[in-house]
Amino acid sequence: MWEHSLMPATTRLISADDAERLAVLQRTGQIFFAPWEPVRQDPYFTVAGQQAEVENVLARHSRGEALPHVILDEDAQVVGRITFSGITYGAFQSCNMGYWVDEENNGRGYATDAVRAMTTRAFEELGLHRVQAETLIPNVRSQRVLQRVGFVRYGLAPAYLKIAGRWQDHLMYQLLADPR
């Protein structure tokens, strides 16, 4: 199992044992996350719902399509998630990255350190060429995380994802292993 320790955050592969903690974070952060997430049904916020989410992403991981990690604080408590999805090799050698940190720990550097650690892994261990991430236009905090790590904004995707119940535009960011 790969772990990366950059203070203050550590990331590790998600496990079934994380479902209970993730359910707590999702339930207590429901209002905080609402503007940035798809509309979720009530079962999503339960332990069983998070168990299903973990099983699904671990199945995609076993097929080499995703790399799902949790973000840990200094006390090894789960404070968020970071996931590579759509991992593609061949001529593309790219993936998409999504992440979140709970409200209580937001703004403490966990997301920045996790993004830095995971992109290093993408290039050095997975051999990818490109990591892509998108943010809603008003999500300036997430844009700053990406920019601190070296991501470059390269476009706008109109009506890209259905977030908070409506199709919303997203800013597109990428980080290349070997920028020209």
Q: Tell me what the pLDDT averaged over the chain comes to.
A: 93
7 pLDDT above the threshold of 60: no
d(CA 73, CA 160): 32
pTM: 0.92
The pLDDT of 40-50, averaged and rounded, is 96
The pLDDT of 132-146, averaged and rounded, is 97
23 Cβ contact list (under 8 Å, min separation 6): 45, 46, 47, 49, 50
Task: Please report which confidence band the pLDDT of residue 6 belongs to, taking 50, 70 and 90 as the band edges.
Answer: very low
3-state helix, strand, coil in the chain (%, to 5): 40, 35, 25
> For residue 40, which amino acid is it?
R
* CB-count burial class (<10 Å; 0-12, 13-18, 19+) for 68: buried
d(CA 36, CA 30): 10
1 pLDDT above the threshold of 90: no
Residue carrying structure tokens 């720990």: 105
pLDDT value of position 152: 97
Number of Cβ within a 10 Å radius of residue 96: 16
114 pLDDT above the threshold of 70: yes
